[in-house]
């Protein structure tokens, strides 16, 4: 990934099960790509949420070009796609960049 976001771990096809599906906390996964402009806009939002909500939510990124297996498995077609996993299951999916306040509102029901 071009630049990892501070406080946001990078996961891969190889680490997805351990880091996301087996996590104790809900996990917000950003499916991202280096060429994705809206993904760059979302980076500071994800960094802030990872910092502020770290006790309730784990935030990670997955590069769709480097790790296509997971991307295909969850039917991700657009970047950025944000998906929340809880107890190994996807419980929410959102497409596109959004401001922090709106994203937090959308996450409210899964935290």
**Of 5, 27, 39, 62, which one is the catalytic site residue?**
39
Cα dihedral angle (50, 52, 56, 60), rounded to 10 degrees? 0
Tell me whether residue 39 is one of the annotated catalytic residues: yes
SS3 for 22-63, per residue? CCCCCEEEEEECCCCHHHHHHHHHHHHHHHHCCCCCEEEEEE
| Cis peptide upstream of residue 80 (ω within 30 degrees of 0) | yes
**Of 8, 11, 20, 36, which one is the catalytic site residue?**
36
CA separation, residue 103 to residues 49, 76, 84 (Å) = 9, 19, 12
Residues annotated as catalytic are 36, 39
């Amino acid at each position: 990934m071009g630049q990892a976001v501070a406080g946001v771990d990078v996961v891969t096809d190889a680490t997805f099960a351990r880091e996301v599906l087996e996590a104790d906390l809900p996990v917000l996964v950003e499916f991202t790509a280096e060429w994705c402009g809206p993904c760059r806009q979302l980076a500071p939002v994800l960094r802030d949420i990872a910092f502020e909500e770290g006790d309730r939510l784990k935030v990670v990124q997955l590069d769709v070009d480097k790790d296509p297996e997971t991307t295909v498995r969850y039917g991700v077609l657009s970047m950025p796609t944000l998906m929340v996993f809880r107890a190994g299951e996807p419980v929410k999916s959102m497409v596109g960049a959004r401001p922090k306040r709106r994203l937090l509102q959308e996450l409210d029901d899964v935290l």
